[in-house]
Amino acid sequence: MTSNVLVTGGAGYIGSHACKALSKAGFTPITFDNLSTGWADSVKFGPLEQGDLLDLTRLQEVFQKYKPIAVMHFAALSQVGESMLDPGIYWRNNVCGSLNLIEAAVASDCMRFVFSSTCATYGEQDGVTLTEDSAQHPINAYGASKRAIEDMLKSFAQSHGLKSVIFRYFNVAGADPDGEVGECHQPETHLIPLMLDAIDGKRDALTIYGTDYDTPDGTCIRDYVHVMDLVDAHVQGLSWLLEGKESTVFNLGTGTGFSVREVIDHSSAVTNKAVPIVEGVRRSGDCTRLVSGSQLARSKLGWTPKRSTLQAMITDAWRWHQTGHYDK
């Protein structure tokens, strides 16, 4: 039986780490990526098939060539601010592209699907630790597009028997401790790499978007999970499906939130350097507090995050950052 797993977005940040984890677990990751935000240099653990999810014919060719036993779907536009300004590209790329992927998978009898969703589907629910049963009220097109894909997976489960594991998470951080792959976006939008850029002079300062939130220090709070812990959960989710278990939704987080200022303080401690900052206004679509519980993943999957501390995440990210990978 083939061990090929189709990984969309496998040239990106999370996808490339997932490919390493899959390879380590004995699978062959087949990266499908249009390289709009990913890097061909990150595809080290299996073949790269360049293509776009909006190109159904190209998808069908790849399914026919590799006959994967499962799909692991990471490819998506994911910038909250951009999704507020131009929601159309999020509905078109994320939703229409995912529909093509699901239909191509079903047509190829590839009936196991691991989906990278987001806690942004829950929207603004301050003061609570989110569970899989929390109401979904996304406040931006990014979160809404991910919720729509979740709904599609449920529809195809009813109509065709497609089995899925859906993971909802928010802020992913850190890098491969071995230094083989890491985080690099152009433009960069994630807090920790932006902060590290500011520390070593690649940008003038880190902008804090909003200092008047209803939090202890005025900055918004997020739950951070190490990318290696995250992709371990995805491999466990794949094993869950291969064992014939039911479709399930899992949150992935630590249940502990950190404010932007707390992350800045930890970064200064890890790097022993000050973080130059500029205080800016809030961004449209940003929640005050988003913390994701993951008790279900712990109890059902046996998932145990091992590196999801700010110390480990920033240390691994700083080590990768200093290598200068993908500097152009």
Which one from 142, 169, 209, 213 is the annotated catalytic residue? 142
Q: Using DSSP, state whether 257 is helix, strand or coil.
A: strand
| Alpha carbon distances (Å) from 122 to 136, 208, 224, 283 | 4, 23, 16, 18
142 as an active site residue: the answer is yes
Question: Side-chain half-sphere of 90: how many Cα atoms within 13 Å?
Answer: 21
Q: How far apart are CA 185 and CA 19, in angstroms?
A: 18
> First CA to last CA across the chain, in angstroms?
41
Residue 159 burial by CB count (10 A; 0-12/13-18/19+): exposed, middle or buried? exposed
DSSP β-ladder status, 257-259 and 221-226: antiparallel
| Phi, psi torsion values for 244, nearest 5 degrees | 80, 20
Which positions are catalytic?
Answer: 142
